[in-house]
Amino acid sequence: MADTSESELWRLDAAVLAVLIRDGEVSAREAVQSNLNRLDAVNPHINAIVVPMHAAALADADAADAARRRGEALGPLHGVPITVKINTDQAGWATDNGVAAFRNHVADLDDPAVAHLRRAGAVIIGRSNSPCFSMRWFTGNELYGETRNPWAMNRTPGGSSGGAAAATATGIGAIGQGNDIAGSVRYPAYCCGLVGLRPTLGRIPVCSTTMEGPVPLSAQFLSVHGPLTRSVQDCRLAFEVMARPHYLDPRVALIGRYPPSTRPRRAAWVANPAGFGAHVSVTESVRSAASRLKSAGYEVEECEPPQMGRLAQLWGEIAGPDTLAYLDPLIETYGDRFIKRSYALWRGAWPHKDPATTLNGLAERAKILEAWANFFERYDVVIMPISTEPPFEWGHDLRDQETTNRIIQAQRAMLAISVLGLPGLSVPTGVVNGLPTGVQIVAAPNREDLCFAAAEVIEVRNAIGVPIDPRSAIST
């Protein structure tokens, strides 16, 4: 038996737990039951898991234990408890996306990323909350209620994968599946003290059979799946499981490992992208991360990548006439009061444009990608903010147009990386005034390996202290 008692197996990382289960030191049922007990104890305080799956999870855990007894080949996540977001297809469960009218949209098939996680042996213990239509940097809806940040109940846990982040940060599942179109994995990871990966566009397959109609063109360029974890090691493991081809998304190809580089490792850093301002805790986090890389042997230089400000603007120009236009009638018809208010303010920042704006934006995107390709000829990674502000107070995005504009400006580094389709890894760097802080590590397309290598240097797991107990959350 491991040092951690059966009652506290929920504390363990996925990689550690998988080895214990594979070696027979603990059973999958013990691991899953421990996580379900943790869910029962803390979820009432944060409302992260809105569809608990106790019976189904225990049945899957028993099947996992039976497979081990039969001597079957075991996947890298065999018996490990995880969570899946309510906007992601999971066979036999509703993909409601936080929308009351969609509560009966039951999926017939697993989304490819979910299928890969289950094939690797993971056991799904619950479905995590999102905002209505998954289009806020805050997580709450009228169907399930608000998800709270386990560090500070009056701060956002991030969005739209805020339920996944709050659950993982408190020990409800070792891995939270999320997705990211404008920061929806990276920002919740930042707010909750986690590691969160937005992978290169096309690395992880995506498909929703419950979605009616075609997927908007801009969403195909902007939206990806990604994992949220409590350690870099687990994030790498989850990514390797999820980043495999699947017949439902033929765009994805398995990419082999890159040979080690013979040149010195080089990192750029920028603390205040486009010069619009950044909170002192953010700039210090970026400087600290750069310093750690320098101490580890990286050649480090302060250098801003091309056109950061323009890229943030391009997010609205690409998505506005296409993805947002697709959502306009859906939100008007089915949205709750929270999404209608926040979305109207988004529309104020990104007003209606002609569809040609999307095509022109995609063309401009390709040109800027060329400039970034040249940038990454010199640097392995660039360290930058996730948000240039600490986690916002709950409901901050519902106030007025000026506030929303400031929020969007603060999220410019996430928006820029979404536009380019590059890998962006959120990694915590410490705690400031009781709230976690962190940085975003960005690399060239398909070079998640470089992000993980830098993150392992920057990671300060002990200073973060996850999983945490939300019952002791601060009030700020």
The structure tokens listed for 258 are 């890159």
* Cβ atoms 179, 66 nearer than 8 A: no
CA gyration radius for the chain?
A: 21
Strand order through the sheet with 381-384: 49-52, 123-128, 81-85, 175-180, 224-229, 195-198, 424-432, 435-443, 381-384, 266-269, 299-302
The CA–CA distances, whole Å, from 185 to 138, 180, 294, 332, 338 equal 12, 5, 27, 26, 20
Q: For 70-210, where are the alpha helices, taking DSSP H only? A: 112-119, 162-169, 186-192
> Which residue(s) pair with 436 in the sheet?
431
Residues forming the active site: 85, 160, 184
- Distance in angstroms (rounded) separating the CA atoms of residues 61 and 50: 21
**Dmax (CA) of the chain:** 63
- Distance in angstroms (rounded) separating the CA atoms of residues 309 and 360: 17
Give Cβ neighbours of residue 103 (< 8 Å, ≥ 6 apart). Answer: 94, 96, 143
Is the torsion defined by CA of 171, 174, 179, 184 positive or negative? positive
What are the phi and psi torsion angles at 440 (to 5°)? Answer: -110, 130
